[in-house]
């Protein structure tokens, strides 16, 4: 293998619960309720893996181990103060922790100077 292709995330379906679009409590408007729950009915077509119905999450849908946990091809590191910024290496991005607005602005301005990617942007900071 002379030139290896860069491994990227492949597209996989969103695994929503059966009939999520029919009932509000299953998350037709609330995204956090649209999570997968295993189909358990006797004649459930999703459980039976029938053609034309949504796919089920299985072991094979997992990410490549080298890409697992990455955000925008960067390894996330939680930062809560300016000292934590010095430990950031290349191929790492920062996630600003739960801190006040003043300290967050300091960290973001310092990260821009150091050209470090910020993986969780806030509306007031952009």
| 56-94 per-position pLDDT tens digit | 998 888 888 888 888 888 999 999 999 999 999 889 999
Whether 31 and 79 share a structural domain = no
> What pLDDT score was predicted for residue 61?
86
Whether 73 and 121 share a structural domain = yes
Last-in-domain residue among 62, 80, 96: 62
7 assigned to some structural domain: no
User: Given its phi and psi angles, is residue 20 left (phi above 0), alpha (psi -120 to 50 degrees) or beta?
Assistant: alpha
Q: Which domain holds residue 88?
A: 66-126
Whether 73 and 95 share a structural domain = yes
pLDDT (tens digit, 9 = 90+) per residue, 95-120?
A: 998 999 999 999 999 999 999 999 98
124 assigned to some structural domain: yes
Number of domains in the chain: 2
Contact 67, 85 (CB under 8 A): no
């Amino acid at each position: 293998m002379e030139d290896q292709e860069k491994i990227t995330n492949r597209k996989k379906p969103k695994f929503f619960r059966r009939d999520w679009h029919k009932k509000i409590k299953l998350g037709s408007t609330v995204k956090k309720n649209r999570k997968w729950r295993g189909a358990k009915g006797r004649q459930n077509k999703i459980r039976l893996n029938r053609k034309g119905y949504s796919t089920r999450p299985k072991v094979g849908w997992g990410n490549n181990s080298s890409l697992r946990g990455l955000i925008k091809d960067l390894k996330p590191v939680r930062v809560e103060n300016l000292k934590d910024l010095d430990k950031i290496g290349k191929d790492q991005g920062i996630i600003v922790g739960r801190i006040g607005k003043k300290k967050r602005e300091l960290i973001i301005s310092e990260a821009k100077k150091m050209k470090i990617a910020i993986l969780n942007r806030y509306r007031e900071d952009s």
